[in-house]
Structure 1
Amino acid sequence: MIPAAVIDALRPVTGELHATAAASGGGCINETVRVAGTDGRCWFLKLNRADFSDVFAAEAEGLEELRRANALRVPRVHACGVAGEHAYLLLDDLELTGQADSEVAAKLGEGLARQHRFTAERYGWHRDNHIGATPQPNGWCDDWITFFRDRRLKFQLELAVRNGYASVVQPDGERVLENIEPFFTGYTPMPSLLHGDLWGGNWGVTATGEPVIFDPAVYYGDREADLAMTR
Protein backbone atom coordinates (compact mmCIF):
# COMPACT_ATOMS: atom_id res chain seq x y z
CA MET A 1 0.00 0.00 0.00
CA ILE A 2 1.15 3.52 -0.79
CA PRO A 3 0.86 5.80 2.26
CA ALA A 4 -2.03 8.24 2.00
CA ALA A 5 0.29 11.22 2.59
CA VAL A 6 2.41 10.20 -0.41
CA ILE A 7 -0.67 9.80 -2.61
CA ASP A 8 -1.76 13.31 -1.63
CA ALA A 9 1.71 14.73 -2.33
CA LEU A 10 1.82 13.10 -5.77
CA ARG A 11 -1.67 14.13 -6.85
CA PRO A 12 -0.54 17.38 -8.59
CA VAL A 13 1.72 15.23 -10.79
CA THR A 14 -0.24 12.02 -11.20
CA GLY A 15 -3.84 13.06 -10.72
CA GLU A 16 -6.00 10.44 -9.08
CA LEU A 17 -4.34 7.07 -8.73
CA HIS A 18 -6.55 4.16 -9.66
CA ALA A 19 -4.21 1.19 -9.60
CA THR A 20 -0.86 0.03 -8.26
CA ALA A 21 1.16 -3.04 -9.10
CA ALA A 22 2.93 -5.27 -6.63
CA ALA A 23 6.37 -4.16 -5.49
CA SER A 24 9.06 -4.85 -8.07
CA GLY A 25 12.82 -4.54 -7.78
CA GLY A 26 14.46 -2.11 -5.39
CA GLY A 27 16.51 -4.75 -3.61
CA CYS A 28 16.65 -4.53 0.17
CA ILE A 29 17.05 -0.74 0.27
CA ASN A 30 13.77 0.73 -1.00
CA GLU A 31 10.18 -0.28 -1.44
CA THR A 32 9.22 0.11 -5.09
CA VAL A 33 5.85 0.03 -6.80
CA ARG A 34 4.41 0.83 -10.20
CA VAL A 35 1.70 3.48 -10.04
CA ALA A 36 -1.02 4.17 -12.61
CA GLY A 37 -3.18 7.26 -13.01
CA THR A 38 -6.74 7.46 -14.27
CA ASP A 39 -5.48 8.88 -17.58
CA GLY A 40 -3.42 5.74 -18.26
CA ARG A 41 0.00 7.18 -17.45
CA CYS A 42 2.32 5.03 -15.33
CA TRP A 43 5.26 5.80 -13.05
CA PHE A 44 7.83 3.96 -10.98
CA LEU A 45 7.70 4.96 -7.31
CA LYS A 46 10.47 4.45 -4.76
CA LEU A 47 9.66 4.75 -1.05
CA ASN A 48 11.70 4.78 2.13
CA ARG A 49 11.74 6.39 5.57
CA ALA A 50 11.56 10.17 5.76
CA ASP A 51 15.19 10.35 6.89
CA PHE A 52 16.12 8.84 3.51
CA SER A 53 15.05 12.01 1.71
CA ASP A 54 18.59 13.28 1.12
CA VAL A 55 19.51 9.97 -0.54
CA PHE A 56 16.59 10.33 -2.95
CA ALA A 57 17.38 14.01 -3.55
CA ALA A 58 20.97 13.15 -4.51
CA GLU A 59 19.75 10.31 -6.74
CA ALA A 60 17.32 12.67 -8.46
CA GLU A 61 20.10 15.19 -9.13
CA GLY A 62 22.31 12.41 -10.43
CA LEU A 63 19.65 11.21 -12.85
CA GLU A 64 19.15 14.74 -14.15
CA GLU A 65 22.92 15.16 -14.58
CA LEU A 66 23.01 11.97 -16.65
CA ARG A 67 20.06 13.20 -18.70
CA ARG A 68 21.94 16.43 -19.44
CA ALA A 69 24.65 14.38 -21.15
CA ASN A 70 22.00 13.07 -23.59
CA ALA A 71 24.04 9.92 -24.13
CA LEU A 72 21.86 7.06 -22.84
CA ARG A 73 18.22 6.62 -21.86
CA VAL A 74 17.74 7.73 -18.25
CA PRO A 75 14.45 7.82 -16.31
CA ARG A 76 12.99 11.29 -15.88
CA VAL A 77 12.37 12.52 -12.33
CA HIS A 78 8.74 13.59 -11.86
CA ALA A 79 8.67 14.21 -8.10
CA CYS A 80 10.93 13.88 -5.08
CA GLY A 81 10.22 14.79 -1.48
CA VAL A 82 8.86 13.83 1.92
CA ALA A 83 5.25 13.19 2.91
CA GLY A 84 4.44 12.16 6.44
CA GLU A 85 6.82 9.42 7.54
CA HIS A 86 8.03 8.58 4.04
CA ALA A 87 10.49 9.88 1.45
CA TYR A 88 9.52 9.29 -2.16
CA LEU A 89 11.01 9.46 -5.65
CA LEU A 90 8.73 9.24 -8.69
CA LEU A 91 10.30 8.25 -12.01
CA ASP A 92 9.37 7.18 -15.52
CA ASP A 93 8.07 3.63 -15.70
CA LEU A 94 10.14 2.26 -18.58
CA GLU A 95 9.01 -1.41 -18.53
CA LEU A 96 12.42 -3.02 -18.85
CA THR A 97 11.30 -6.24 -20.50
CA GLY A 98 13.94 -6.53 -23.24
CA GLN A 99 16.86 -8.95 -23.40
CA ALA A 100 20.50 -7.90 -23.02
CA ASP A 101 22.15 -9.42 -26.10
CA SER A 102 25.39 -8.45 -27.85
CA GLU A 103 23.66 -5.75 -29.92
CA VAL A 104 22.24 -4.11 -26.80
CA ALA A 105 25.61 -4.37 -25.06
CA ALA A 106 27.22 -2.57 -28.01
CA LYS A 107 24.62 0.21 -27.75
CA LEU A 108 25.32 0.52 -24.04
CA GLY A 109 29.05 0.79 -24.67
CA GLU A 110 28.61 3.42 -27.38
CA GLY A 111 26.29 5.44 -25.18
CA LEU A 112 28.65 5.19 -22.24
CA ALA A 113 31.48 6.49 -24.43
CA ARG A 114 29.32 9.51 -25.34
CA GLN A 115 28.49 10.07 -21.67
CA HIS A 116 32.17 10.01 -20.74
CA ARG A 117 32.81 12.85 -23.19
CA PHE A 118 30.57 15.01 -20.99
CA THR A 119 33.21 16.47 -18.69
CA ALA A 120 33.84 18.91 -15.86
CA GLU A 121 36.86 21.01 -14.94
CA ARG A 122 37.51 19.10 -11.70
CA TYR A 123 36.94 15.69 -10.15
CA GLY A 124 34.07 14.89 -7.80
CA TRP A 125 30.68 16.53 -7.60
CA HIS A 126 28.98 19.41 -5.83
CA ARG A 127 27.32 17.12 -3.26
CA ASP A 128 27.81 13.78 -1.55
CA ASN A 129 25.55 10.88 -2.44
CA HIS A 130 25.24 7.13 -1.83
CA ILE A 131 26.39 4.00 -3.61
CA GLY A 132 23.66 1.59 -2.62
CA ALA A 133 23.15 2.22 1.09
CA THR A 134 26.76 3.34 1.64
CA PRO A 135 27.57 7.06 1.86
CA GLN A 136 29.82 8.31 -0.94
CA PRO A 137 31.82 11.48 -0.23
CA ASN A 138 32.42 13.73 -3.21
CA GLY A 139 33.22 17.44 -3.20
CA TRP A 140 35.38 19.00 -5.89
CA CYS A 141 39.07 18.16 -6.17
CA ASP A 142 41.72 19.35 -8.63
CA ASP A 143 43.71 16.11 -8.63
CA TRP A 144 42.43 12.64 -9.54
CA ILE A 145 44.95 10.73 -7.41
CA THR A 146 44.00 12.73 -4.33
CA PHE A 147 40.30 12.29 -4.99
CA PHE A 148 40.50 8.56 -5.71
CA ARG A 149 42.80 7.88 -2.76
CA ASP A 150 41.06 9.97 -0.10
CA ARG A 151 37.38 9.90 -1.11
CA ARG A 152 37.16 6.41 -2.53
CA LEU A 153 39.87 4.02 -1.27
CA LYS A 154 40.61 5.64 2.11
CA PHE A 155 36.94 6.16 2.92
CA GLN A 156 36.12 2.52 2.14
CA LEU A 157 39.11 1.33 4.16
CA GLU A 158 38.03 3.39 7.17
CA LEU A 159 34.50 2.05 6.80
CA ALA A 160 35.79 -1.53 6.77
CA VAL A 161 37.86 -0.89 9.89
CA ARG A 162 34.85 0.59 11.72
CA ASN A 163 32.87 -2.52 10.79
CA GLY A 164 35.40 -4.89 12.34
CA TYR A 165 37.57 -5.83 9.35
CA ALA A 166 40.78 -4.07 10.44
CA SER A 167 42.90 -7.21 10.56
CA VAL A 168 41.70 -8.25 7.10
CA VAL A 169 42.12 -5.04 5.10
CA GLN A 170 44.08 -2.45 7.07
CA PRO A 171 47.73 -3.52 6.52
CA ASP A 172 47.45 -4.02 2.75
CA GLY A 173 45.00 -1.15 2.41
CA GLU A 174 47.36 1.33 4.03
CA ARG A 175 50.20 0.19 1.77
CA VAL A 176 48.01 0.83 -1.27
CA LEU A 177 47.19 4.34 -0.03
CA GLU A 178 50.85 5.11 0.60
CA ASN A 179 52.04 3.83 -2.78
CA ILE A 180 49.21 4.72 -5.15
CA GLU A 181 50.89 7.55 -7.06
CA PRO A 182 53.20 5.36 -9.23
CA PHE A 183 50.12 3.64 -10.67
CA PHE A 184 49.17 6.95 -12.30
CA THR A 185 52.58 8.09 -13.53
CA GLY A 186 52.07 9.90 -16.83
CA TYR A 187 48.30 9.47 -16.67
CA THR A 188 45.88 12.33 -16.06
CA PRO A 189 42.31 11.28 -16.89
CA MET A 190 39.66 13.73 -17.97
CA PRO A 191 36.96 14.33 -15.33
CA SER A 192 34.21 12.39 -17.14
CA LEU A 193 30.61 12.14 -16.03
CA LEU A 194 30.30 8.74 -14.35
CA HIS A 195 27.25 6.70 -13.46
CA GLY A 196 29.28 5.60 -10.45
CA ASP A 197 27.55 2.27 -9.72
CA LEU A 198 27.17 0.63 -13.12
CA TRP A 199 26.93 -3.03 -12.17
CA GLY A 200 24.53 -5.30 -14.02
CA GLY A 201 21.60 -4.54 -11.72
CA ASN A 202 21.64 -0.82 -12.52
CA TRP A 203 20.92 -0.96 -16.22
CA GLY A 204 18.21 -2.65 -18.22
CA VAL A 205 16.68 -2.97 -21.67
CA THR A 206 13.36 -1.69 -22.98
CA ALA A 207 11.05 -3.84 -25.08
CA THR A 208 12.47 -2.10 -28.18
CA GLY A 209 16.07 -3.00 -27.31
CA GLU A 210 17.18 0.36 -25.90
CA PRO A 211 19.59 0.26 -22.93
CA VAL A 212 18.58 2.29 -19.87
CA ILE A 213 20.73 3.29 -16.89
CA PHE A 214 19.38 4.10 -13.42
CA ASP A 215 20.20 4.05 -9.67
CA PRO A 216 23.37 6.15 -10.14
CA ALA A 217 26.04 7.33 -7.71
CA VAL A 218 27.11 10.20 -9.96
CA TYR A 219 30.43 12.03 -9.88
CA TYR A 220 33.08 13.23 -12.34
CA GLY A 221 36.19 11.08 -12.54
CA ASP A 222 38.26 8.61 -14.53
CA ARG A 223 36.00 6.90 -17.06
CA GLU A 224 37.77 3.61 -16.33
CA ALA A 225 36.05 3.59 -12.93
CA ASP A 226 32.73 3.08 -14.71
CA LEU A 227 34.19 0.36 -16.91
CA ALA A 228 35.66 -1.44 -13.89
CA MET A 229 32.27 -1.41 -12.15
CA THR A 230 30.63 -3.26 -15.06
CA ARG A 231 32.84 -6.33 -14.62
Structure 2
Amino acid sequence: MEARIKEALKTKKLRATGRGGSGCINEGEAYETDDGEVFIKRNSKPQARTMFDGEFAALKAILETETVRVPKPYVVVDNPSGGAALVMESVRMRQLSRHSELLGKQLASMHLHNSRKRDEGSSVHGSRNESGYVDQFGFDVTTCCGYLPLDNSWHDDWVEFFCRQRIDAQVRMAQEKYHDREAPELWSLLVHKVPSFFEGLEIEPALIHGDLWGGNVAEYEDGPIIFDPASYYGHAEFDLSIAKLFGGFDGKFYSAYFKAIPKAAGFEKRLDFYHLFHYLNHWNHFGGGYRSSSLSTMRRLLK
Protein backbone atom coordinates (compact mmCIF):
# COMPACT_ATOMS: atom_id res chain seq x y z
CA MET A 1 0.00 0.00 0.00
CA GLU A 2 2.76 2.46 0.93
CA ALA A 3 4.50 1.89 -2.41
CA ARG A 4 1.27 2.52 -4.31
CA ILE A 5 0.63 5.75 -2.43
CA LYS A 6 4.19 6.94 -3.07
CA GLU A 7 3.79 6.17 -6.74
CA ALA A 8 0.44 7.96 -6.96
CA LEU A 9 1.80 11.05 -5.19
CA LYS A 10 5.20 10.89 -6.92
CA THR A 11 6.97 11.16 -3.57
CA LYS A 12 9.95 9.35 -2.10
CA LYS A 13 9.07 10.35 1.44
CA LEU A 14 5.97 9.07 3.22
CA ARG A 15 6.46 9.36 6.95
CA ALA A 16 3.73 9.29 9.60
CA THR A 17 3.55 12.44 11.72
CA GLY A 18 1.73 10.85 14.62
CA ARG A 19 -1.30 13.08 14.10
CA GLY A 20 -4.32 10.86 13.70
CA GLY A 21 -8.00 11.34 13.13
CA SER A 22 -9.61 7.92 13.15
CA GLY A 23 -13.36 7.51 13.51
CA CYS A 24 -15.78 4.63 13.93
CA ILE A 25 -15.53 3.67 10.24
CA ASN A 26 -12.01 4.52 9.02
CA GLU A 27 -8.46 4.89 10.28
CA GLY A 28 -6.71 8.14 9.46
CA GLU A 29 -3.29 9.68 9.90
CA ALA A 30 -1.22 12.59 8.57
CA TYR A 31 1.96 11.88 6.61
CA GLU A 32 4.91 13.96 5.45
CA THR A 33 5.71 13.79 1.73
CA ASP A 34 8.20 15.52 -0.55
CA ASP A 35 5.60 18.25 -1.14
CA GLY A 36 4.25 18.67 2.39
CA GLU A 37 1.66 16.93 4.54
CA VAL A 38 -1.22 14.78 3.36
CA PHE A 39 -3.94 13.01 5.30
CA ILE A 40 -4.61 9.36 4.49
CA LYS A 41 -7.81 7.52 5.37
CA ARG A 42 -7.73 3.73 5.26
CA ASN A 43 -10.37 1.04 5.37
CA SER A 44 -9.90 -2.70 4.93
CA LYS A 45 -13.52 -3.53 4.07
CA PRO A 46 -14.30 -4.90 0.58
CA GLN A 47 -16.53 -1.88 -0.10
CA ALA A 48 -13.76 0.62 0.78
CA ARG A 49 -13.07 1.55 -2.85
CA THR A 50 -16.73 2.40 -3.47
CA MET A 51 -16.85 4.38 -0.23
CA PHE A 52 -13.72 6.40 -0.98
CA ASP A 53 -14.58 6.96 -4.65
CA GLY A 54 -17.86 8.45 -3.46
CA GLU A 55 -16.17 10.62 -0.86
CA PHE A 56 -13.63 11.80 -3.45
CA ALA A 57 -16.44 12.84 -5.81
CA ALA A 58 -18.38 14.52 -2.98
CA LEU A 59 -15.37 16.52 -1.79
CA LYS A 60 -14.65 17.57 -5.38
CA ALA A 61 -18.26 18.66 -5.92
CA ILE A 62 -18.30 20.76 -2.74
CA LEU A 63 -14.89 22.21 -3.59
CA GLU A 64 -16.17 23.34 -6.98
CA THR A 65 -18.95 25.40 -5.38
CA GLU A 66 -16.31 27.66 -3.79
CA THR A 67 -18.57 28.14 -0.77
CA VAL A 68 -17.32 26.20 2.26
CA ARG A 69 -13.88 24.68 2.67
CA VAL A 70 -13.31 20.94 2.46
CA PRO A 71 -10.01 19.03 2.32
CA LYS A 72 -8.85 18.74 -1.29
CA PRO A 73 -8.99 15.10 -2.41
CA TYR A 74 -5.89 13.85 -4.21
CA VAL A 75 -6.25 10.17 -5.07
CA VAL A 76 -7.89 6.86 -4.12
CA VAL A 77 -5.50 3.90 -3.95
CA ASP A 78 -6.34 0.20 -3.72
CA ASN A 79 -4.69 -1.89 -1.00
CA PRO A 80 -3.27 -5.14 -2.48
CA SER A 81 -4.26 -6.98 0.70
CA GLY A 82 -7.82 -5.62 0.61
CA GLY A 83 -9.56 -2.32 1.07
CA ALA A 84 -8.41 1.09 -0.10
CA ALA A 85 -7.08 4.47 0.99
CA LEU A 86 -8.12 8.05 0.26
CA VAL A 87 -5.32 10.61 0.17
CA MET A 88 -6.33 14.22 0.73
CA GLU A 89 -5.12 17.59 1.89
CA SER A 90 -4.00 17.72 5.52
CA VAL A 91 -5.61 20.59 7.43
CA ARG A 92 -4.81 21.54 11.04
CA MET A 93 -8.28 21.67 12.57
CA ARG A 94 -9.86 22.40 15.92
CA GLN A 95 -13.39 22.16 17.29
CA LEU A 96 -15.88 24.52 15.67
CA SER A 97 -16.36 27.61 17.82
CA ARG A 98 -15.28 31.03 16.55
CA HIS A 99 -16.43 30.41 12.97
CA SER A 100 -19.84 28.87 13.70
CA GLU A 101 -21.78 31.80 12.26
CA LEU A 102 -19.68 31.77 9.11
CA LEU A 103 -20.36 28.04 8.67
CA GLY A 104 -24.11 28.72 8.72
CA LYS A 105 -23.68 31.37 6.05
CA GLN A 106 -21.39 29.21 3.90
CA LEU A 107 -23.55 26.09 4.19
CA ALA A 108 -26.56 28.08 3.00
CA SER A 109 -24.46 29.39 0.12
CA MET A 110 -23.52 25.82 -0.82
CA HIS A 111 -27.19 24.81 -0.72
CA LEU A 112 -28.08 27.76 -2.98
CA HIS A 113 -25.25 27.13 -5.43
CA ASN A 114 -27.35 25.01 -7.79
CA SER A 115 -30.17 27.56 -7.88
CA ARG A 116 -27.64 30.22 -8.83
CA LYS A 117 -26.67 28.00 -11.76
CA ARG A 118 -30.34 27.89 -12.76
CA ASP A 119 -30.49 31.68 -12.72
CA GLU A 120 -27.48 31.74 -15.03
CA GLY A 121 -29.57 29.80 -17.55
CA SER A 122 -27.57 26.58 -17.84
CA SER A 123 -29.13 23.14 -17.40
CA VAL A 124 -27.95 19.58 -17.07
CA HIS A 125 -30.56 16.83 -16.93
CA GLY A 126 -29.71 14.10 -14.43
CA SER A 127 -26.02 14.83 -14.20
CA ARG A 128 -23.56 17.34 -12.86
CA ASN A 129 -20.77 19.32 -14.41
CA GLU A 130 -18.84 22.44 -13.56
CA SER A 131 -21.15 24.85 -15.37
CA GLY A 132 -24.60 23.24 -15.36
CA TYR A 133 -27.75 23.47 -13.29
CA VAL A 134 -28.82 20.05 -12.00
CA ASP A 135 -32.57 19.51 -12.37
CA GLN A 136 -32.89 16.09 -10.71
CA PHE A 137 -32.20 14.46 -7.36
CA GLY A 138 -29.28 12.05 -7.04
CA PHE A 139 -25.58 11.99 -7.85
CA ASP A 140 -23.27 10.72 -10.56
CA VAL A 141 -21.61 8.16 -8.29
CA THR A 142 -22.49 6.03 -5.27
CA THR A 143 -21.76 7.74 -1.96
CA CYS A 144 -21.84 6.14 1.48
CA CYS A 145 -23.34 7.37 4.74
CA GLY A 146 -21.02 5.53 7.08
CA TYR A 147 -20.01 2.43 5.15
CA LEU A 148 -23.47 1.71 3.71
CA PRO A 149 -23.88 2.69 0.03
CA LEU A 150 -26.60 5.11 -1.03
CA ASP A 151 -28.63 4.58 -4.18
CA ASN A 152 -28.07 7.89 -5.96
CA SER A 153 -29.90 6.99 -9.19
CA TRP A 154 -31.37 10.17 -10.63
CA HIS A 155 -35.04 10.94 -9.97
CA ASP A 156 -37.32 13.85 -10.86
CA ASP A 157 -39.37 13.75 -7.65
CA TRP A 158 -37.73 14.32 -4.26
CA VAL A 159 -40.40 12.65 -2.13
CA GLU A 160 -40.33 9.48 -4.24
CA PHE A 161 -36.53 9.55 -4.31
CA PHE A 162 -36.24 9.82 -0.54
CA CYS A 163 -38.97 7.30 0.22
CA ARG A 164 -37.70 4.65 -2.20
CA GLN A 165 -33.94 5.18 -2.24
CA ARG A 166 -33.41 6.19 1.38
CA ILE A 167 -36.10 5.09 3.85
CA ASP A 168 -37.38 2.00 2.04
CA ALA A 169 -33.81 0.83 1.41
CA GLN A 170 -32.95 1.17 5.10
CA VAL A 171 -36.15 -0.54 6.26
CA ARG A 172 -35.54 -3.48 3.92
CA MET A 173 -31.99 -3.73 5.19
CA ALA A 174 -33.17 -3.86 8.81
CA GLN A 175 -35.76 -6.47 7.87
CA GLU A 176 -33.13 -8.66 6.20
CA LYS A 177 -30.40 -8.10 8.77
CA TYR A 178 -32.43 -8.33 11.98
CA HIS A 179 -35.57 -10.15 10.74
CA ASP A 180 -37.56 -7.20 12.02
CA ARG A 181 -41.26 -7.17 11.17
CA GLU A 182 -42.50 -4.04 12.91
CA ALA A 183 -40.37 -1.58 10.93
CA PRO A 184 -41.72 -2.62 7.50
CA GLU A 185 -45.27 -2.73 8.88
CA LEU A 186 -45.02 0.83 10.21
CA TRP A 187 -43.30 2.06 7.07
CA SER A 188 -46.01 0.56 4.84
CA LEU A 189 -48.48 2.84 6.65
CA LEU A 190 -46.26 5.90 6.92
CA VAL A 191 -45.23 6.00 3.26
CA HIS A 192 -48.77 7.04 2.27
CA LYS A 193 -48.65 9.99 4.68
CA VAL A 194 -45.24 11.31 3.66
CA PRO A 195 -46.47 13.51 0.74
CA SER A 196 -48.51 15.56 3.23
CA PHE A 197 -45.26 16.65 4.92
CA PHE A 198 -44.27 18.39 1.69
CA GLU A 199 -47.57 19.98 0.64
CA GLY A 200 -47.14 23.38 -0.97
CA LEU A 201 -43.36 23.04 -0.99
CA GLU A 202 -41.32 23.42 -4.16
CA ILE A 203 -38.04 21.59 -3.64
CA GLU A 204 -35.09 22.45 -5.81
CA PRO A 205 -32.13 20.05 -5.98
CA ALA A 206 -29.32 21.31 -3.74
CA LEU A 207 -25.86 19.87 -3.27
CA ILE A 208 -25.88 18.61 0.31
CA HIS A 209 -23.15 17.29 2.60
CA GLY A 210 -25.34 14.33 3.57
CA ASP A 211 -23.83 13.51 6.99
CA LEU A 212 -23.46 16.89 8.66
CA TRP A 213 -23.16 15.99 12.35
CA GLY A 214 -20.85 17.77 14.78
CA GLY A 215 -18.05 15.26 14.25
CA ASN A 216 -17.80 16.16 10.56
CA VAL A 217 -17.31 19.90 11.01
CA ALA A 218 -14.42 21.87 12.46
CA GLU A 219 -12.54 25.10 11.94
CA TYR A 220 -9.04 26.20 11.03
CA GLU A 221 -7.49 29.62 11.53
CA ASP A 222 -9.40 31.38 8.74
CA GLY A 223 -12.81 29.74 8.82
CA PRO A 224 -14.93 26.59 9.05
CA ILE A 225 -14.25 23.30 7.30
CA ILE A 226 -16.50 20.29 6.66
CA PHE A 227 -15.42 16.77 5.77
CA ASP A 228 -16.51 13.10 5.46
CA PRO A 229 -19.39 13.97 3.10
CA ALA A 230 -22.04 11.59 1.77
CA SER A 231 -23.16 14.09 -0.84
CA TYR A 232 -25.86 14.08 -3.49
CA TYR A 233 -28.38 16.54 -4.88
CA GLY A 234 -31.27 16.54 -2.44
CA HIS A 235 -33.40 18.74 -0.20
CA ALA A 236 -31.31 21.34 1.63
CA GLU A 237 -33.26 20.78 4.86
CA PHE A 238 -31.87 17.25 5.07
CA ASP A 239 -28.44 18.58 6.09
CA LEU A 240 -29.97 20.18 9.17
CA SER A 241 -31.57 16.94 10.35
CA ILE A 242 -28.51 15.16 11.71
CA ALA A 243 -27.09 18.51 12.83
CA LYS A 244 -30.16 18.94 15.05
CA LEU A 245 -30.23 15.27 16.05
CA PHE A 246 -26.74 14.99 17.52
CA GLY A 247 -25.96 18.64 18.29
CA GLY A 248 -22.68 20.50 18.00
CA PHE A 249 -24.10 23.59 16.28
CA ASP A 250 -24.91 26.77 18.19
CA GLY A 251 -27.54 29.45 17.72
CA LYS A 252 -25.24 31.64 15.63
CA PHE A 253 -24.93 28.86 13.06
CA TYR A 254 -28.70 28.48 12.70
CA SER A 255 -29.39 32.22 12.69
CA ALA A 256 -26.93 32.76 9.86
CA TYR A 257 -28.31 29.81 7.90
CA PHE A 258 -31.97 30.78 8.25
CA LYS A 259 -31.20 34.40 7.38
CA ALA A 260 -30.09 33.13 3.97
CA ILE A 261 -32.66 30.31 3.65
CA PRO A 262 -35.72 31.00 5.84
CA LYS A 263 -37.63 28.07 7.34
CA ALA A 264 -40.49 26.87 5.18
CA ALA A 265 -43.87 25.84 6.62
CA GLY A 266 -43.78 22.30 8.01
CA PHE A 267 -40.03 22.40 8.66
CA GLU A 268 -40.15 20.66 12.06
CA LYS A 269 -42.31 17.80 10.76
CA ARG A 270 -39.97 17.20 7.85
CA LEU A 271 -36.98 17.36 10.14
CA ASP A 272 -38.51 14.59 12.25
CA PHE A 273 -39.05 12.57 9.08
CA TYR A 274 -35.43 13.08 8.04
CA HIS A 275 -34.35 11.97 11.52
CA LEU A 276 -35.90 8.62 10.65
CA PHE A 277 -33.24 8.02 8.00
CA HIS A 278 -30.43 8.61 10.49
CA TYR A 279 -31.99 6.38 13.14
CA LEU A 280 -32.43 3.59 10.60
CA ASN A 281 -28.93 4.09 9.22
CA HIS A 282 -27.46 3.89 12.73
CA TRP A 283 -29.54 0.80 13.45
CA ASN A 284 -28.14 -0.88 10.34
CA HIS A 285 -24.61 0.17 11.28
CA PHE A 286 -24.49 -0.35 15.02
CA GLY A 287 -27.31 -2.67 15.96
CA GLY A 288 -30.54 -2.73 17.90
CA GLY A 289 -29.83 0.23 20.15
CA TYR A 290 -31.39 2.46 17.49
CA ARG A 291 -34.40 0.23 16.82
CA SER A 292 -36.53 1.93 19.45
CA SER A 293 -35.80 5.42 18.09
CA SER A 294 -36.59 4.27 14.55
CA LEU A 295 -39.93 2.74 15.49
CA SER A 296 -41.00 5.53 17.85
CA THR A 297 -40.26 8.12 15.15
CA MET A 298 -42.48 6.27 12.67
CA ARG A 299 -45.28 5.99 15.23
CA ARG A 300 -45.03 9.69 16.02
CA LEU A 301 -45.14 10.65 12.34
CA LEU A 302 -48.24 8.50 11.87
CA LYS A 303 -50.24 10.50 14.42
Q: TM-score with structure 2 length normalisation?
A: 0.69
Establish whether residue 105 from structure 1 lines up as the match of residue 118 from structure 2.
no
- 2:19–2:29: 8 Å Cα contact kept in structure 1? yes
C-alpha distance in structure 2 between counterparts of 1:38 and 1:166, whole Å? 53
C-alpha distance in structure 2 between counterparts of 1:203 and 1:142, whole Å? 30
Residue 42 of structure 1 is matched in structure 2 by: 37
- 2:4–2:77: 8 Å Cα contact kept in structure 1? no
**One-letter amino acid of the counterpart of residue 231, structure 2:** V
As a proportion of its length, which structure holds more helix?
Answer: 2
C-alpha distance in structure 2 between counterparts of 1:8 and 1:218, whole Å? 27
- 1:50–1:82: 8 Å Cα contact kept in structure 2? no
**One-letter amino acid of the counterpart of residue 190, structure 1:** E
Residue 96 of structure 1 is matched in structure 2 by: 93
Q: How does 1:122-201 map to 2 (within 5 A)?
A: 122-164=136-178, 166-201=180-215
Q: Which moved more, 1:122-131 or 1:12-21?
A: 12-21
Q: Could you say if the C-alpha distance between residues 18 and 66 of structure 1 is closer, same or farther in structure 2, counting changes exceeding 3 Å?
A: closer
Establish whether residue 70 from structure 1 lines up as the match of residue 99 from structure 2.
no
**One-letter amino acid of the counterpart of residue 179, structure 1:** K
- Percent identical across equivalent pairs? 28
1:82: Cα distance to partner? 1.3
Query: Which blocks of at least 5 consecutive residues in structure 2 are unaligned?
Result: 115-133, 245-303
Establish whether residue 216 from structure 1 lines up as the match of residue 240 from structure 2.
no
Query: Which blocks of at least 5 consecutive residues in structure 1 are unaligned?
Result: none
1:37: Cα distance to partner? 1.9
One of 11, 14, 18 as aligned partner of 1:15: 11
As a proportion of its length, which structure holds more strand?
Answer: 1
**One-letter amino acid of the counterpart of residue 66, structure 1:** I
1:23: Cα distance to partner? 6.3
> Helix, strand or coil for the counterpart of 2:191?
helix
C-alpha distance in structure 2 between counterparts of 1:29 and 1:216, whole Å? 13
**One-letter amino acid of the counterpart of residue 170, structure 1:** P
C-alpha distance in structure 2 between counterparts of 1:112 and 1:188, whole Å? 20
- 2:6–2:14: 8 Å Cα contact kept in structure 1? no
What do residues 145-180 of structure 1 show as CA deviations (whole Å, max 9, x unaligned)? 111111111111111212226244222222111221
C-alpha distance in structure 2 between counterparts of 1:11 and 1:167, whole Å? 50
C-alpha distance in structure 2 between counterparts of 1:9 and 1:209, whole Å? 30
> Helix, strand or coil for the counterpart of 2:78?
strand
Q: Could you say if the C-alpha distance between residues 14 and 33 of structure 1 is closer, same or farther in structure 2, counting changes exceeding 3 Å?
A: farther
C-alpha distance in structure 2 between counterparts of 1:165 and 1:23, whole Å? 42
> Size of the alignment, in residue pairs?
223
